[in-house]
Amino acid sequence: MPTTTWNRHHVLSLADFTTAEYDTVLQTAASFQEVLSRRTKKVPTLQGQVVANLFFESSTRTRSSFEIAAKRLSADTLNFAAATSSMTKGETILDTAKTYLAMGTDIMVIRHREAGVPNAIAAEMDRLGVRVSVLNAGDGQHEHPSQALLDLFTISTLIDPANPRLKLLKGKKIAIVGDILHSRVARSNIWSLIATGAQVHLAAPPTLLPKLFAEYFSEESGDRSQESLVISPSSPSPQLFLHWQLEPALQDADFVMTLRLQKERMTAHLLPSLREYHQLFGITRAKLQLCKPNVKVLHPGPVNRGVEISSDLMDDPEFSLIQSQVTSGVAVRMALLYLLGSGKA
Amino acid sequence: MPTTTWNRHHVLSLADFTTAEYDTVLQTAASFQEVLSRRTKKVPTLQGQVVANLFFESSTRTRSSFEIAAKRLSADTLNFAAATSSMTKGETILDTAKTYLAMGTDIMVIRHREAGVPNAIAAEMDRLGVRVSVLNAGDGQHEHPSQALLDLFTISTLIDPANPRLKLLKGKKIAIVGDILHSRVARSNIWSLIATGAQVHLAAPPTLLPKLFAEYFSEESGDRSQESLVISPSSPSPQLFLHWQLEPALQDADFVMTLRLQKERMTAHLLPSLREYHQLFGITRAKLQLCKPNVKVLHPGPVNRGVEISSDLMDDPEFSLIQSQVTSGVAVRMALLYLLGSGKA
Amino acid sequence: MPTTTWNRHHVLSLADFTTAEYDTVLQTAASFQEVLSRRTKKVPTLQGQVVANLFFESSTRTRSSFEIAAKRLSADTLNFAAATSSMTKGETILDTAKTYLAMGTDIMVIRHREAGVPNAIAAEMDRLGVRVSVLNAGDGQHEHPSQALLDLFTISTLIDPANPRLKLLKGKKIAIVGDILHSRVARSNIWSLIATGAQVHLAAPPTLLPKLFAEYFSEESGDRSQESLVISPSSPSPQLFLHWQLEPALQDADFVMTLRLQKERMTAHLLPSLREYHQLFGITRAKLQLCKPNVKVLHPGPVNRGVEISSDLMDDPEFSLIQSQVTSGVAVRMALLYLLGSGKA
């Protein structure tokens, strides 16, 4: 493990992550990636600690990833799924969290459909003066930090497998395409990509990317042209670009991050049809011609094949990083659990 | 671990628990409470044994507590949840239990909405001459022994942390307030508190505490005044008191045990309204003025804040033992699994 | 463990199992059966490996058996239950499997209501050139290999506990009774029993055993008498017999395998009534008089008592092997996981 100072008790948002923290996560994850290629893919680091997956909103994919990460650190795991639970009847979420605290949980991994729930639980833990850590595994449309960190790890290890670090992405052009308005993944990704010094280009239909969205990341007003909006979060460079067409975002892009389109949006009249969406914003081999020759495509999964991305492109290892993202997810979550938990054991 | 003789194969009810058995559980739990404060909160005691949580009625809280207790003893755990299971279709409960027996289960932790199911399974295991143990984790309105034992442990370690034992409660006045009629927790608590030599005062509206209830614990007829009923289960002292008002139960009480009010009761016309219930039987800081100055309040959880107990009182560590109860639960369940399982490994 | 060459990467069907493979499974399972009788019922064989139970169709019984088998080999387990999962929305089954692959799964245990899903996933894994193994835990009406192997193990260890092997069943008469048409268990059993050289007699009402069924196992046309059909799958002996009455199948039988009757069949008008079914094809003590004196009865469970088999017969250890089958299931599944996984660790 890299020697490092890590003073964060909780991982709730990437909005205030420092460069040193990003690099610590990336380098710790790289160490675990190496462990995972060994004959025995397990380390005793968190033996005797309890990781509770408190999933008030169901998610098999993220929960399995955290569960396998915890088990490979030799932690014991508890799974709480609100959907099938009798626990929450009449009880507040804070009371549920405090019950798991009192049972001896060391790290709580929390997903909830409401933004801010992990923060509220973390604040309560701090108020009580206990050492339990809270890890946001997705809250409403707010943030999904471990997903953005695994995206960062996937990209940076592609550039330098031995030494992934934030500044490898400096100057890269990265497109984020799809339902940005409702995506917690997009919000966390934007924070981390801005931190790298990359040029971040968002592309979506106007209903899924309102102009006001940019103000979440910067109070400065940008250059409001008709088709694109350019804002500078903290300095003239890096910059965040908003587009309501796909092409300017893809032009010379190094990486294209696609977002999951929740089909429920259709019923809310935010989209004309899935076919039209795919025609305008779906990523295909043809559209990738606009990008740099060695462009790579990411998607947080699960993918609606033929909607966000064409089926053949998704399966093409020359372009698709989707499987790497899943593998990176385990290493990054091991890193986060390790960094949060190693001080406690 | 304390040296002890423990000959019980199953824990189904506290009705016939002996003083020696209570004290063995309390002292074994105290040993585990100490283990839980160590750096490595895990002991290899039950390695290679299987604890199956057979929850025919769903309960996240109790199931998680047993699961964490089993894992801290290094047992393997299997979770069976009837709600999401295809197993029981057409199959009898005894057949389900025998299937888990045949798979190599060493201890079965059983919850069922019908009273007597754990007893029936235990009887079948004994008839088959197998060494598997059955632990009642709540059956209908019958009993919930591990909950009453953790309440006992919470109270007795408060009085003497180093040496919890039954007789520490002798002469204490303990009020049990709420839906006593439907509460398996209350039934188990009454058995254990009578065994301590405490004065046990039950308080509830008449619909939730029928006079006949007392006959469950004593065949002697008591002093039937208009507002209270006093019966002596086995000797002139200790005694069990029934009240249909809160105040006489709280008067000079050392401990107040509140019970969960299941809101479904409302539909059965057993209660006028939750607000009126709270006004008459809800525990508040003001009502605690009647009790001893250092009175403590317990609740098995999950709590309906503002119904059984006022929200601020629940969170006040000066009065509330609710979080301690959850922590005690893990230690007590480790003790029970250890006592049932240690002869088998 | 027996020294052996085992080159199979997946266990999908018994149709092409060789005698050497059957005997390797039987002897490896016998070794684990011995381990399970030891003080510590756990071996470190698969430590650091991940066994993912991907149950797209729910099954508590088979899933628990695989889970306990994996844990006794010290593997980490992940449970995926499609019924309670949000994972599959919009995602293909292959994508779900590839996600678990990317998370580092070593062995996938797969159940699906559609025949062929495990094969499709295995083919995809091979195409990708990865070392992950696929184990079919029941696919549609196709096969359920581990169930047939545990039946084989149960019977052969009964004949020679120390040295179970295929040829112990040679010449035995084995009846398979019940809903053969819809039973994946029957299909796998027929393959394995034909391989032993046993005489396999199928008995069912015509709606549950069409004449065409035989063509699945042999292209040769058989001797089509009115009441029975005899076909020779590969040589004049062994033979597969089809009966539309119970009696000729039971006559002098050494073993009677009953199949679960899914009550849903009633609504499809395939059966007149459960009572009539029991009268004609239910196994009772009286009907067993036709069999050899020391005949034994098997059932894959869960049993509809009083339908496929009379309740008293099911509980009679002189005749019923039902509990042994469950125990054998853990040993056989340990053997399969060991054989598939030991090359990987």
Question: Which of B68, B179, B307 should we substitute to test contact with A (largest number of A Cβ atoms within 10 Å)?
Answer: B68
Statement: residue A48 has pLDDT above 70: yes
Q: What is the pLDDT of residue C212?
A: 75
Poorest-pLDDT segment among A187-191, B235-239, C164-168: B235-239
Q: What is the pLDDT of residue A80?
A: 85
Q: Which chain C residues are Cβ-neighbours of A41 within 8 angstroms?
A: 48-50, 104
Percent of chain B with pLDDT over 70: 88
Percent of chain B with pLDDT over 90: 74
- Is the CB of A39 less than 8 angstroms away from the CB of C50? no
| C-alpha neighbours within 13 Å on the C-beta side of residue B301 | 30
- Is the CB of C102 less than 8 angstroms away from the CB of A323? yes
Residue A230 CB: number of other CB atoms within 10 A?
A: 16
- The answer to whether the peptide bond before residue A302 is cis (omega within 30 degrees of 0) is yes
Closest-CA distance, A146 to chain B, in angstroms, reads 25
The CATH number given to A146-326 is: 3.40.50.1370
Q: What is the pLDDT of residue A31?
A: 95
Closest-CA distance, C168 to chain B, in angstroms, reads 25
Per-residue pLDDT tens over the stretch B269-292: 777 788 899 999 999 999 999 999
Q: Which of the two residues, B163 and C270, has the higher pLDDT score?
A: B163
Q: What is the pLDDT of residue A345?
A: 42
Tell me the C-alpha to C-alpha distance, in Å, between residue B36 and each of A98, A316, C32: 17, 50, 34
Quick one: how far is CA A69 from the chain centroid?
16
CB-closest option in A48, A85, A92 to B40: A48
Residue C103: burial class (beta carbons within 10 Å; 0-12, 13-18, 19+): buried
Instruction: State mean pLDDT over A133-147.
Output: 96
Instruction: Select, from the ranges B195-209, C37-51, C217-231, the one with the highest average predicted confidence (pLDDT).
Output: B195-209
| pLDDT-derived band at C326, boundaries 50, 70, 90 | very high
Closest-CA distance, B36 to chain A, in angstroms, reads 8
Statement: residue A77 has pLDDT above 50: yes
Q: What is the pLDDT of residue C271?
A: 78
Instruction: State mean pLDDT over C298-310.
Output: 94
Statement: residue A95 has pLDDT above 90: yes
* Fold assignment, C19-144+327-341: Rossmann fold (3.40.50)
Instruction: State mean pLDDT over A37-41.
Output: 79
Contact C110, C132 (CB under 8 A): no
Statement: residue C218 has pLDDT above 80: no
Poorest-pLDDT segment among A216-225, B75-84, B95-104, B135-144: A216-225
The residues near B140 (Cβ < 8 Å, ≥ 6 apart) are B112, B113, B114, B115, B116, B117, B184
- Is the CB of C78 less than 8 angstroms away from the CB of A58? no
Q: What is the pLDDT of residue A39?
A: 72
The residues near B298 (Cβ < 8 Å, ≥ 6 apart) are B151, B154, B155, B255, B256, B257, B258, B321, B322, B325
CA distance linking residue C242 with residue C175, whole number of Å: 10
Q: Which chain B residues are Cβ-neighbours of A95 within 8 angstroms?
A: 301-303, 305
Residues of B with CB under 8 A from a CB of A: 36, 39-42, 58-61, 64-65, 67-68, 71-72, 81, 83-84, 263, 301-305, 307, 323-327, 329-330
Instruction: State mean pLDDT over C284-293.
Output: 97
- Is the CB of C99 less than 8 angstroms away from the CB of A301? yes
Q: Which chain C residues are Cβ-neighbours of A61 within 8 angstroms?
A: 87, 99
- Is the CB of C40 less than 8 angstroms away from the CB of B345? yes
Chains touching chain A, criterion 3+ CB pairs below 8 Å:
B, C
Q: Which chain B residues are Cβ-neighbours of A48 within 8 angstroms?
A: 39-42, 72
Closest-CA distance, A78 to chain B, in angstroms, reads 7
- Is the CB of B39 less than 8 angstroms away from the CB of A48? yes
- Is the CB of B98 less than 8 angstroms away from the CB of C71? no
Give A256's strand partners: A175, A297
- The answer to whether the peptide bond before residue A238 is cis (omega within 30 degrees of 0) is yes
| pLDDT-derived band at A35, boundaries 50, 70, 90 | confident
Contact C168, C160 (CB under 8 A): yes
Residue B200 host element (H or E): strand B199-203
CA distance linking residue B267 with residue A187, whole number of Å: 45
Contact C66, C333 (CB under 8 A): yes
Length of chain C equals 345
Residue A218: burial class (beta carbons within 10 Å; 0-12, 13-18, 19+): middle
CA distance linking residue A180 with residue A208, whole number of Å: 6
Q: What is the pLDDT of residue A10?
A: 97
Return residue ranges of chain A for CATH 3.40.50.1370. Answer: 19-144+327-341, 146-326
Q: What is the 3-state secondary structure (H, E, C) of chain A?
A: CCCCCCCCCCECCCCCCCHHHHHHHHHHHHHHHHHHCCCCCCCCCCCCCEEEEEECCCCHHHHHHHHHHHHHCCCEEEEEEHHHCCCCCCCCHHHHHHHHHHCCCCEEEEEECCCCHHHHHHHHHHHHCCCCEEEEEEECCCECHHHHHHHHHHHHHHHCCCCCCHHHHCCCEEEEECCCCCCHHHHHHHHHHHHHCCEEEEECCHHHCCHHHHHHCCCCCCEECCCEEEECCCCCCCCEEEECCCHHHHCCCCEEEECCCCCHHHHCCCCCCHHHHHHHHCECCCHHHHCCCCCEEECCCCCCECCCECHHHHCCCCCECHHHHHHHHHHHHHHHHHHHHCCCC
Statement: residue B227 has pLDDT above 90: no
Residue C284: burial class (beta carbons within 10 Å; 0-12, 13-18, 19+): middle
Statement: residue B338 has pLDDT above 80: yes
The residues near C212 (Cβ < 8 Å, ≥ 6 apart) are none
Instruction: State mean pLDDT over C33-59.
Output: 89
| pLDDT-derived band at A238, boundaries 50, 70, 90 | low
Q: How many pairs of residues across A and C have Cβ atoms under 8 Å apart? A: 77
Closest Cα in chain B to C71 = B76
Q: Which chain B residues are Cβ-neighbours of C302 within 8 angstroms?
A: 87-91, 95-96, 99
The residues near A78 (Cβ < 8 Å, ≥ 6 apart) are A50, A51, A52, A53, A100, A103, A105, B64, B67, B68
Statement: residue C221 has pLDDT above 60: no
Q: Which of the two residues, B43 and B237, has the higher pLDDT score?
A: B43
- Is the CB of B327 less than 8 angstroms away from the CB of A102? yes
**Locate tokens 């003590």: which residue?**
C285
Statement: residue C227 has pLDDT above 50: yes
Closest-CA distance, B239 to chain A, in angstroms, reads 33
CATH 2.60.40.1930 assigned to domain C147-326? The reply is no
CB-closest option in A76, A101, A345 to B71: A76
The pTM of this model reads 0.92
Closest-CA distance, C342 to chain A, in angstroms, reads 11
Q: What is the pLDDT of residue C63?
A: 94
Q: What is the pLDDT of residue C3?
A: 54
The C-alpha angle C55, B102, C334, rounded to 5 degrees, equals: 55
CA distance linking residue C15 with residue C136, whole number of Å: 13
What tokens does A343 get? 């001080």
| pLDDT-derived band at A12, boundaries 50, 70, 90 | very high
The phi, psi pair for B160, rounded to 5°, reads -145, 90
Q: Which of the two residues, C227 and A255, has the higher pLDDT score?
A: A255
What tokens does B224 get? 């039937």
Statement: residue C262 has pLDDT above 90: no
Instruction: State mean pLDDT over B100-111.
Output: 96
Closest-CA distance, B43 to chain A, in angstroms, reads 9
CB-closest option in A48, A87, A102 to B326: A102
Question: Which of B87, B92, B124, B125 should we substitute to test contact with C (largest number of C Cβ atoms within 10 Å)?
Answer: B87
Q: Which chain C residues are Cβ-neighbours of A330 within 8 angstroms?
A: 103-104
CB-closest option in A40, A263, A307 to C47: A40
- Is the CB of B304 less than 8 angstroms away from the CB of A90? yes
Q: Which chain A residues are Cβ-neighbours of B301 within 8 angstroms?
A: 91, 95, 99
Q: Which chain B residues are Cβ-neighbours of A44 within 8 angstroms?
A: none
CA distance linking residue B115 with residue B15, whole number of Å: 14
CB-closest option in A58, A65, A72 to C86: A58
Q: What is the pLDDT of residue B270?
A: 76
Statement: residue C345 has pLDDT above 50: no
CA distance linking residue B239 with residue A46, whole number of Å: 50
CA distance linking residue A337 with residue A319, whole number of Å: 30
What tokens does A309 get? 């991305």
**Core vs surface per residue C310-340: b (16+ CB within 10 A) or e:** beebbbeeebbbbbbbbbbbbbbbbbbbbbb
- Complex confidence, ipTM: 0.90
Tell me the C-alpha to C-alpha distance, in Å, between residue A264 and each of A61, A179, A232, A308, C85: 19, 12, 33, 15, 17
Contact A25, A339 (CB under 8 A): yes
Closest CA to B204 of B192, B186, B184: B186
Contact A76, B72 (CB under 8 A): yes
| pLDDT-derived band at C229, boundaries 50, 70, 90 | low
- Is the CB of C67 less than 8 angstroms away from the CB of B78? yes
Contact B32, B342 (CB under 8 A): no
Write the single-letter amino acid at C200: V
CB-closest option in C76, C87, C95 to A60: C87
Question: Which of B71, B93, B95, B124 should we substitute to test contact with C (largest number of C Cβ atoms within 10 Å)?
Answer: B95
Residues of A with CB under 8 A from a CB of B: 47-50, 76, 78, 80, 84-92, 95-96, 98-104, 345
| pLDDT-derived band at A90, boundaries 50, 70, 90 | low
Average pLDDT for chain B: 89
- Is the CB of A90 less than 8 angstroms away from the CB of B64? no
| C-alpha neighbours within 13 Å on the C-beta side of residue B74 | 16
CB-closest option in B60, B72, B323 to A80: B60
Closest-CA distance, B254 to chain A, in angstroms, reads 24
* Pairing of β C296-298 and β C107-112: unpaired
Q: Which of the two residues, C14 and C217, has the higher pLDDT score?
A: C14
CA distance linking residue C51 with residue A64, whole number of Å: 12
Statement: residue C213 has pLDDT above 80: no
Residue C201 host element (H or E): strand C199-203
Residue A305: burial class (beta carbons within 10 Å; 0-12, 13-18, 19+): middle
Closest Cα in chain C to A316 = C128
Q: Which of the two residues, A238 and A270, has the higher pLDDT score?
A: A270
| pLDDT-derived band at A318, boundaries 50, 70, 90 | very high
Average pLDDT for chain C: 89
Closest Cα in chain C to B44 = C40
Closest-CA distance, C262 to chain B, in angstroms, reads 9
Q: What is the pLDDT of residue C4?
A: 63
Q: How many pairs of residues across A and B have Cβ atoms under 8 Å apart? A: 77
Chains touching chain C, criterion 3+ CB pairs below 8 Å:
A, B
What is the SS3 assignment for B231? strand
Statement: residue C85 has pLDDT above 90: no
The CATH number given to B147-322 is: 3.40.50.1370
Return residue ranges of chain C for CATH 3.40.50.1370. Answer: 19-144+327-341, 147-326
| pLDDT-derived band at A170, boundaries 50, 70, 90 | very high
Closest CA to A333 of A110, A65, A133: A65
CB-closest option in B78, B85, B102 to C326: B102
Contact B46, B73 (CB under 8 A): yes
Return residue ranges of chain B for CATH 3.40.50.1370. Answer: 19-144+327-341, 147-322
Per-residue pLDDT tens over the stretch B249-261: 999 999 999 999 9
Per-residue pLDDT tens over the stretch C144-193: 999 999 999 999 999 999 999 999 999 999 999 999 999 999 999 999 99
The C-alpha angle B95, B97, B103, rounded to 5 degrees, equals: 105
Instruction: State mean pLDDT over A72-81.
Output: 92
Closest CA to B175 of B186, B188, B184: B186
Residue C69: burial class (beta carbons within 10 Å; 0-12, 13-18, 19+): buried
Residue B314 host element (H or E): helix B311-314
Percent of chain C with pLDDT over 70: 88
| pLDDT-derived band at A271, boundaries 50, 70, 90 | confident
Statement: residue C62 has pLDDT above 70: yes
Q: Which chain C residues are Cβ-neighbours of B92 within 8 angstroms?
A: 305
